[in-house]
Amino acid sequence: AMKCFSGAAVTRKTAEVVSNILGVSVRDAFRFERDERPLSKKTIREYVLFANQVLHFANERYHSVQAEFKMPAKGARPRFVDCIHEDEVCKLMSEIDKCSMPEQAIVLSLLNTGVRRAELAGLTWSDFDFKECTVHVNKSLLVFRDFGYQHTATKESNDRYIDVAPEYMEFMQQYKEKRLMGASWQRDMVKNKESKRESLMRLAGEEFVIIDDFGWPRNPDGYNALVKRVAKKAGLKDIHPHMFRHTFVSLLMSNPDIGV
């Protein structure tokens, strides 16, 4: 709603939700504009690569495409998906114990859930089902210059449950217990958050998973530097948070027991 009233362009889905809350029709509340910009070459290339992977899977599993179809040879594709390779994951895991608990929580969460940065920042402990080993992802935490911290819906309102490894849940249980001890919970805040005090105070009482020493949620914009710092300890370069999302999907696709 804030974006709408400030004049920002929004999708039709968002317009419908806001109009419904206001009790008016979408046509009365919004001006419609058609966006006919062509897809970029990068986007088209990504679509083609994905379609090739699906066709290859369909051919191997169901023999549903012509036999002469073949995947491109390794290195022949114009652009590879930027994921973290197996040997790099091993290096990260061998060094992760030497990192601080918050650093471990962020890196392990990105790797084990495949969530976006904002989705990880928006997770609360109520989203964790330690018995069933699932994480419920249905919200994001975004930080705007003019509006501060905003706990909002995920991209495309993608509400989902993620099955995670028991080992990851065991670590998060330990992390939860340690982070709840000794913090001066949501009373003070570091100097660089003072400008966002009003928006943070509206989030008081929320049990965010990724927090600073005062119990306030950490800005997801800072995850990039943190991930690079952890990767550097493992001797890795050019690692960024979204690579973990691609890696998570690659791990699922490499498992013959999990379908596309």
The arithmetic mean of pLDDT across residues 59-69, rounded, is 61
How do residues 12-39 score in pLDDT, each as one tens digit?
888 999 999 889 999 888 888 877 788 8
Average per-residue pLDDT for the chain: 85
- Per-residue confidence at 77, pLDDT binned at 50, 70, 90? low
Task: Give the 3-state secondary structure of the chain.
Answer: CHHHHCCCCCCHHHHHHHHHHHCCCHHHHCCCCCCCCCCCHHHHHHHHHHHHHHHHHHHHHHCCCCCCCCCCCCCCCCCCCCCCCHHHHHHHHHHHHHCCHHHHHHHHHHHHHCCCHHHHHHCEHHHEECCCCEEEECCEEEEECCCEEEEECCHHHCCEEEECCHHHHHHHHHHHHHHCCCCCCCCCCCHHHHHHHHHHHCCCCCCECCECCCCCECCHHHHHHHHHHHHHHCCCCCCCHHHHHHHHHHHHHCCCCCCC
Q: Is the pLDDT of residue 145 over 50?
A: yes
Query: The tokens of 228 are what?
Result: 């690079």
The arithmetic mean of pLDDT across residues 68-77, rounded, is 53
Give the separation between CA 53 and CA 198, rounded to whole angstroms.
Answer: 47
How do residues 216-237 score in pLDDT, each as one tens digit?
899 999 999 999 999 999 999 8
The arithmetic mean of pLDDT across residues 183-211, rounded, is 79
Q: What is the pLDDT of residue 69?
A: 45
59 Cβ neighbours under 8 A, 6+ residues apart: 65, 67, 69
Token match 């993608």: residue? 158
153 Cβ neighbours under 8 A, 6+ residues apart: 138, 139, 140
Phi, psi of 148 (to 5 degrees): 75, -145
- Per-residue confidence at 250, pLDDT binned at 50, 70, 90? confident
Greatest mean pLDDT range, 53-57, 69-73, 211-215, 241-245: 241-245
How do residues 161-178 score in pLDDT, each as one tens digit?
999 999 999 999 999 988
